[in-house]
Each structure stands twice: as structure tokens, then as C-alpha cells.
């Protein structure tokens, strides 16, 4: 039953991502797909932001989870396939597709909508898109029914949204996808390595 539910979930994610890419082929909101601005200031913000987010992720991995919440989070698809050592390619592929979908929605379309169509100030546009991205992660409550896990997702996603909002306008959507995918995977991999790797030895 879980496999059928996962297949349906993955099919929906793939379909949404495919639909979201169609407007790009017609030149809709393509201004920030690639590097738009690169200078010393951008590099400092990029490296500093990455360092801050990696440090927060490490602190959360070390101190953010109770024994009960660890037992719950280990059911996440990425951690589960790392533990069970099966279905890695399909799961990691769909993990990447999910990151692409989220960046298309919350960075490419929302920030462009707020800044260029509605004409919000850049900072306000990034803030609102980050807030919406954070609220979107309330769905983790329905997956895990754990307030601690939901809180971690909501706070982390807001911070990532602020950082990737700036990165989107300077280094482009592709860089945002790489950052989002890398940080999220490292978060799950570090949890696996710290708490679950010994279970299968």
C-alpha cells in the first residue's frame, strides 16, 4: 500500500514539475535562470549564507531531535533508502525533481510575480515568497504528526527561502536548485550517518 501511495505521490510531483517547466520554453520568467550578477559582494553573501545554513543544519542534526522524533524522521524517503540500501536511484531522482519543483514555484514564479508583476520591493518579494515557502512546509505535520519536526522544517525553509531568494536574483535558478538539493540531502545524510547507519551494519 505504501509503495502505491509513493508511486502516486511521485507521479504527481513529476507531472507538476513538467507543467511548471512548460512556460520557460516560451520565455516566461526566464530572466533569472542563469547567473545574472557575480561580484565580490555576491560571493561573500553566497559563501557566508552557505556557512550559516550548513552550521544551522549541523546544530539541528546534533541537538534538534528527540529519540521519538528521530524514530519518526527515519521514515523520510531519503533516510529510509540510505538505511535499507534499496531503490536509491528512483528515490534520489524524485528527490531532485521535488527540489526543482519547489525552486520553480517559490523562487522563479513567486519572486518574479511579486517583483516584476505586482511590483513589490525586492526585499518584500523575497520575504513574502520565503514566508509562503515556510508555510508550505506545514505539510510535514500531516506526514509526521510531530511538532518538533514540523518546526524544524518551517524555520529551515524560511531561512533557505531568504538565502535562495537573494541567490535567485544574482546567481540564478540553477544555482538555487543546486543549493537546495545539496543542503537538503546533506541534512538527511548527516542524520542517517549520525543516528541510523549502525542499524544496518
Which of 108, 94, 93, 98 has the alpha carbon at shortest distance from 175?
Answer: 108
Q: What is the pLDDT of residue 197?
A: 83
Residues in the chain: 201
Distance in angstroms (rounded) separating the CA atoms of residues 191 and 74:
8
Q: Residue 158 has which C-alpha cell?
A: 524560511
Identify which of 194, 183, 200 has the alpha carbon closest to the alpha carbon of residue 51: 183
List the one residue out of 52, 73, 77, 87 whose CA is nearest residue 183: 52
Per-residue pLDDT of the chain (201 residues; tens, 9 = 90+): 556 667 788 889 999 999 999 999 999 999 999 999 999 999 999 999 999 999 999 999 999 999 999 999 999 999 999 999 888 998 999 999 999 999 999 999 999 999 999 999 999 999 999 999 999 999 999 989 999 999 999 999 999 999 999 999 999 999 999 999 999 999 999 999 999 987 655
Q: What residue ranges do the domains of the chain occupy?
A: 34-196
pTM reported for the whole predicted model: 0.94
Radius of gyration (Cα) for the chain, nearest Å? 17
Cα separation, 193 vs 191, whole angstroms: 6
Amino acid at each position: 500500500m505504501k509503495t502505491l501511495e509513493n508511486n502516486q505521490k511521485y507521479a504527481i510531483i513529476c507531472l507538476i514539475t513538467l507543467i511548471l517547466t512548460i512556460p520557460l520554453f516560451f520565455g516566461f520568467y526566464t530572466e533569472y535562470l542563469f547567473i545574472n550578477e557575480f561580484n565580490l559582494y555576491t560571493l561573500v553573501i553566497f559563501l557566508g549564507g552557505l556557512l550559516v545554513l550548513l552550521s544551522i543544519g549541523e546544530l539541528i542534526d546534533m541537538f534538534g531531535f528527540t529519540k521519538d522524533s528521530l524514530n519518526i524522521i527515519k521514515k523520510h524517503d531519503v533516510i529510509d533508502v540510505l538505511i535499507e540500501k534499496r531503490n536509491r536511484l528512483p528515490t534520489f531522482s524524485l528527490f531532485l525533481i521535488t527540489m526543482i519543483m519547489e525552486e520553480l514555484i517559490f523562487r522563479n514564479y513567486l519572486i518574479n510575480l511579486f517583483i516584476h508583476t505586482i511590483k513589490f520591493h525586492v526585499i518584500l518579494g523575497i520575504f513574502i515568497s520565503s514566508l509562503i515557502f515556510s508555510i508550505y512546509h506545514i505539510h510535514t505535520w500531516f506526514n509526521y504528526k510531530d511538532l518538533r519536526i514540523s518546526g524544524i522544517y518551517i524555520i529551515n525553509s524560511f531561512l533557505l527561502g531568504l538565502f535562495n531568494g537573494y541567490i535567485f536574483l544574482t546567481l540564478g535558478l540553477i544555482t538555487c536548485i543546486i543549493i537546495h538539493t545539496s543542503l537538503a540531502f546533506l541534512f538527511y545524510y548527516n542524520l542517517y550517518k549520525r543516528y541510523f547507519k549502525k542499524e544496518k551494519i
